[in-house]
Structure 1
Amino acid sequence: MNKIYYLASCDTCRKIIKSLPENDLVFQDIRQDPITEEQLEEMHKLAGSYEALFSRKAQLYKSMDLKNKDLKEADFKKYILEHYTFLSRPVFIIDNKIYIGNSQKNVAEVIKALAN
């Protein structure tokens, strides 16, 4: 099953979704339907670390002063499960490969993977 974890209220996510070719993605708005620990474990297995899934751009990251803390893998997991804003978005899982974030290179790889 191919899936996208995104925020419906995020302009960047909406723009990326509009640019996608016809596909069979299952959409999960992580604000309305928070990710489960099982889903996060699947993402972790594909990404190799929780840190790769963690967004340092999140406003809570700054307001909680996390940049001055020595975060470990367990901390990244805990924060991602606590609040959706800590998941770097969007996250695509296509044919058991993970694509994290909204860089142009990443979006181009997603479009290519969906076109195949």
Structure 2
Amino acid sequence: MKKIYHLGSCSTCIRIIKELNLPTDFILQDIKKEAITEAQLAEMKDMAGDYETLFSKRAQLFKQRDLKNQNLDESDFKNLILEHYTFLKRPVIIVDDKIFVGNNKSVVEAAKNAIH
């Protein structure tokens, strides 16, 4: 599978997608317009190792709800991501059996190498 979960209104996601110079067989899913399903999230978790890796602690809701002062476990991370798209660390790039999570420069470079 070749897929990117992203936010269409996120300038960082847009920049990264352009930078990746994607082949036409990639599927792009704007997570605001098409919510992540539980099955999709479970597949991402299996590839990433855990839900926490997929969870964005930089989300505004994370700060607003004061979640940093709560003791969150894997089920909390899963439920929060399913509850609101902003909790998914973006973009999530899947290339066959590899997953790349987030916008860190080294992650994007690794994704680029896997794609080309």
| TM-based fold match above 0.5 | yes
Q: 1:20 — aligned with what? A: 20
Find the counterpart in structure 1 of residue 8 from structure 2: 8
Note the aligned Cα RMSD (angstroms). Answer: 0.7
Q: Residue 9 of structure 1: CA displacement?
A: 0.1
Matches within 5 A, 1:60-99: 60-99=61-100
The Cα of 1:21 is off from its aligned counterpart by 2.4
Q: Structure 1 unaligned segments of length 5 or more: list them.
A: none
Task: Report the CA distance between 1:96 and its aligned residue.
Answer: 1.2
Which residues of structure 2 form unaligned runs of 5+?
A: none
Distance 2:58 2:37 in 1: 22
Q: Which runs of 4+ in 1 moved over 6 A?
A: none
Length, aligned pairs only: 115
Aligned to 2:34: 33
Q: What's the CA shift string for 1:24-46, capped at 9, x where partnerless?
A: 21000000001000000000000
What TM-score, normalized to structure 1? Answer: 0.97
TM-score normalized by the length of structure 2: 0.97
| 2:56 corresponds to | 55
